[in-house]
């Protein structure tokens, strides 16, 4: 359906597209990936026809509608959200056409020669309106806006009242409402919280058109696409499968190329040895010349860049006490608005904790309080023995000096890291070679944010408080950063919308919901599963309670309704009390059980990571103990998972028990 033929584009003497030919079939679901700056967004704009290429053609059938979500901030018309959605989707024009037809028909005599033709036009317009679900537009719009995190009263607010991220959500709502034949989504999850991401994925699963997306969200790509198109060195390489499959295939491809390169080098060495040995012998002259020609024709397979693994480690810091931070009855109020209240928790040394919640729930407020950059309205917090916190937020990019170079900013830090270690960290965050001597003043907002993050990471700290640290990192850099955090010996509290990043890193989740803090022992996937169970159970309990309340008044006997006796109500109350006691006993086991599961899962994740670390594999004495500990943890986890499932089933069955 989308056909690119020999697309070429050069910009500032750099080849962006080098004779790209790509046929995208109808209903494809493709993730476009590649390093920053290779031209992914430019390719989307070329497909849409927004830029002209040096040569080649781009063809899309004229009857196919395209919905394009740009990565950069869009400015919206100063209209109420309702009116803006209707205007940009064509709903307003369709409604006006139908009203115009109605008015013309009402004013026209039925004997007029154009009367029948006008009725036919009205019927055609009405049919098209119905096909595009125009009569249900407001309901669909409100449902989509709610899924993207808007409140009910936002529908009537002016678009200009919203911040940049919320404006991008409104623009995304326009695309979803339009239901185009082709969606080009450039970083669609950038401005979404995890709740909205989950909703968007569920929505897009039912989308029947062609989906192309650029994304740095590993989990989004895994769930949404079945092909990966990698753009690099001006070429497109297609991999069948999701992003995880692509990573495995690419590693295998790199390994095969490296093996081929080594075989080539061995053959070159053999030929050169033969030439050197028999060059002076006249009897071997023809064989020597043959091998010289053979050697001249050799084209050595280039070394794959991706095979060069980049790692960095945090500087070693003083070990903190067991209790890192204690929070008691913490609350925060802005004027009459209560953000959260009665928050209590203790964080222990070595824990890696995710802080989640919808936008506006108070995540950033809480981390600012934990970092002691803001005071709470109620309650207290206390840092433990020898705790050295370091705090990164989106405002941290303001803590860079414009009159310095990147290297001067990093080199002047009071850090235990060596110059080589500092350069490794800079390289990992895409500042390499002569780039480190760039003035800070010429950096983009994303680059300043990365530099500010580097300054935080190089500090002498043992407690990291990180608010959206991955916002300006590409997939490769995120993997490097994630690996470093996994090996960090200190404690981490992390706010992030990157679900894959959280899944691989954290073992405990705090969710701020409805002004309170809810705790889950496990990674992000466990949190989602557990929370869904809780919400479903709460909804089920609500339905059951409503039913019980209605039954409490009237009990049908012999086809007639009579009021329950006092004795019947007493017996039912006793039964409820007995059920409550049974539930309480069962629930007593859950916290300790889930805590043990969380601890063992952390051991399992840590050991699996260590057993994949080349540095660890060099030390043969460490491998066996790690394997034994991993085996023991896995075996124990199997037992605990089974017991946890039995407890949950028993809890669910209590309400059905005949007491």
The pLDDT tens digits of the residues spanning 602-629 come to 887 787 777 666 677 667 677 667 777 8
Do residues 200 and 349 share a domain? no
The answer as to whether 438 is a domain residue is yes
What gap in Å lies between CA 593 and CA 521, rounded to an integer? 10
Model confidence pLDDT, tens digit, residues 380-398: 999 999 999 999 987 776 7
Do residues 439 and 580 share a domain? no
Task: Kindly report the average pLDDT of the chain as a whole number.
Answer: 84
Over range 322-340, report the average pLDDT. Answer: 94
pLDDT level of residue 559 (50, 70, 90 thresholds): very low
Do residues 269 and 303 share a domain? yes
- In this prediction, residue 351 carries a pLDDT of 95
Q: Please check the confidence at residue 173 and state whether its pLDDT lies above 80.
A: yes
The answer as to whether 275 is a domain residue is yes
DSSP string, 33-77: E--TTSSHHHHHHHHHTSS--SEEEEE--TT--EEEE-SS--PPP
What gap in Å lies between CA 11 and CA 4, rounded to an integer? 19
DSSP annotation of 520:
E
pLDDT level of residue 129 (50, 70, 90 thresholds): confident
DSSP string, 578-637: HHHHHHHHHHHHHHHHHHHHHHHHHHHHHHHHHTT-HHHHT-HHHHHHHHHHHHHHHHHH
Q: Which of 487, 507, 522 is the last residue of a domain?
A: 522
pLDDT level of residue 659 (50, 70, 90 thresholds): low
The total of structural domains in the chain comes to: 4
The answer as to whether 170 is a domain residue is no
Do residues 495 and 359 share a domain? yes
Do residues 518 and 401 share a domain? yes
Do residues 331 and 395 share a domain? yes
The answer as to whether 423 is a domain residue is yes
Give the structural domain span for 396.
323-522
Query: E strands within 76-137?
Result: none
Q: Which of 221, 241, 261 is the last residue of a domain?
A: 241
DSSP annotation of 498:
-
Model confidence pLDDT, tens digit, residues 73-128: 778 999 999 999 999 998 888 888 888 887 887 777 777 888 778 877 777 777 77
Do residues 437 and 482 share a domain? yes
* Residue 206 dihedral angles phi and psi, to the nearest 5°: -95, 5
Half-sphere exposure of 219 (CA within 13 A, CB side): 16
Do residues 611 and 653 share a domain? yes
Burial of 544 (0-12, 13-18, 19+ CB in 10 A): exposed
Model confidence pLDDT, tens digit, residues 239-291: 999 999 999 998 888 888 888 888 888 888 888 888 888 888 887 788 888 88
> CB-based contacts of 590: which residues, under 8 Å, 6+ apart?
644, 647
DSSP annotation of 300:
P
Do residues 371 and 503 share a domain? yes
The answer as to whether 589 is a domain residue is yes
β-strand partners of 229: 32, 238
Do residues 282 and 413 share a domain? no
- In this prediction, residue 407 carries a pLDDT of 92
Please tell me whether residue 228 adopts helix, strand or coil conformation: strand
More confident residue, 321 or 415: 321
Beta-sheet pairing, 235-240 with 352-356: unpaired
The answer as to whether 106 is a domain residue is no
The answer as to whether 123 is a domain residue is no
Sheet of 463-467: strand order equals 389-392, 463-467, 491-495, 352-356, 508-513, 516-521
pTM of the model: 0.69
């Amino acid at each position: 359906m989308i056909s690119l033929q020999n697309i070429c584009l050069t910009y500032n003497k750099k080849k962006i597209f080098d004779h790209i030919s790509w046929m995208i079939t109808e209903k494809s679901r493709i993730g476009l990936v590649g390093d920053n700056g290779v031209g992914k967004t430019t390719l989307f704009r070329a497909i849409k026809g927004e830029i002209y290429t040096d040569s080649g053609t781009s063809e899309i059938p004229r009857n196919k509608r395209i919905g394009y979500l740009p990565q950069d901030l869009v400015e919206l018309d100063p209209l109420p959200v309702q009116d803006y959605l209707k205007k940009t989707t064509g709903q307003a024009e369709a409604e006006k056409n139908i009203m115009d037809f109605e008015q013309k028909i009402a004013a026209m005599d039925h004997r007029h020669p154009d009367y029948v033709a006008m009725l036919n036009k009205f019927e055609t317009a009405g049919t098209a309106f119905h096909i595009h679900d125009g009569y249900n537009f407001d309901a669909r719009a409100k449902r989509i806006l709610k899924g993207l995190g808007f409140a009910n009263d936002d529908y009537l607010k002016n678009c200009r009242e919203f911040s940049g991220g919320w404006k991008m959500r409104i623009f995304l709502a326009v695309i979803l409402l339009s239901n185009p034949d082709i969606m080009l989504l450039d970083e669609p999850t950038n401005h979404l919280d995890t709740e909205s991401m989950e909703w968007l994925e569920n929505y897009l699963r039912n989308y029947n058109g062609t989906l192309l997306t650029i994304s740095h969200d590993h989990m989004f790509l895994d769930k949404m696409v079945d092909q990966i198109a990698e753009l690099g060195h001006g070429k497109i390489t297609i991999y069948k499968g999701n992003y995880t499959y692509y990573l495995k295939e690419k590693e295998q491809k790199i390994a095969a190329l490296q093996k081929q390169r080594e075989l080539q080098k061995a053959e070159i060495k053999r030929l050169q040895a033969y030439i050197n040995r028999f060059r002076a012998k006249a009897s071997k002259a023809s064989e020597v010349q043959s091998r010289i020609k053979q050697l001249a024709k050799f084209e050595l397979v280039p070394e794959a860049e991706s095979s060069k693994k980049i790692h960095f480690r945090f500087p070693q810091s003083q070990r903190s006490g067991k209790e890192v931070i204690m929070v008691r009855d913490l609350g925060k109020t802005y004027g009459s608005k209560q953000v959260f209240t009665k928050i209590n928790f203790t964080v222990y040394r070595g824990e890696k904790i995710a802080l989640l919640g919808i936008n506006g729930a108070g995540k950033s407020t809480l981390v600012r309080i934990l970092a002691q950059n803001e005071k709470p309205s109620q309650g207290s917090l206390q840092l433990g023995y020898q705790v050295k916190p370091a705090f990164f937020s989106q405002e941290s990019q303001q803590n860079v000096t414009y009159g310095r170079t990147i290297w001067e900013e990093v080199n002047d830090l009071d850090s235990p890291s060596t110059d080589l270690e500092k350069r490794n960290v800079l390289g990992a965050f895409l500042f390499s070679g002569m780039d480190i001597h760039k003035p800070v003043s010429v950096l983009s907002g994303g680059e300043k944010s990365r530099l500010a993050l580097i300054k935080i990471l190089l500090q002498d700290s043992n407690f990291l408080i990180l608010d959206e640290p991955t916002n300006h990192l590409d997939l490769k850099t995120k993997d490097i950063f994630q690996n470093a955090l996994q090996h960090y010996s200190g404690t981490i509290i992390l706010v992030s919308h990157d679900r894959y990043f959280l899944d691989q890193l954290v073992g405990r989740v705090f969710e701020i919901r409805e002004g309170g803090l809810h705790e889950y022992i496990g990674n992000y996937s466990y949190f989602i599963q557990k929370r869904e169970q809780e919400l479903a159970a709460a909804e089920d309990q609500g339905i059951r309670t409503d039913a019980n309340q209605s039954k409490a008044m009237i009990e049908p006997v012999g086809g007639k309704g009579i009021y329950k006796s006092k004795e019947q109500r007493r017996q039912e109350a006793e039964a409820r009390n007995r059920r409550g006691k049974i539930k309480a006993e069962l629930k007593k086991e859950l916290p300790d059980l889930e805590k043990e599961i969380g601890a063992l899962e952390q051991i399992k994740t840590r050991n699996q990571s260590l057993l994949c670390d080349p540095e660890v594999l060099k030390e043969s004495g460490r491998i066996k103990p790690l394997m034994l500990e991993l085996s023991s943890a896995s075996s124990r986890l199997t037992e605990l998972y089974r017991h946890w499932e039995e407890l949950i089933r028993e809890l669910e069955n209590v309400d059905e028990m005949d007491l």
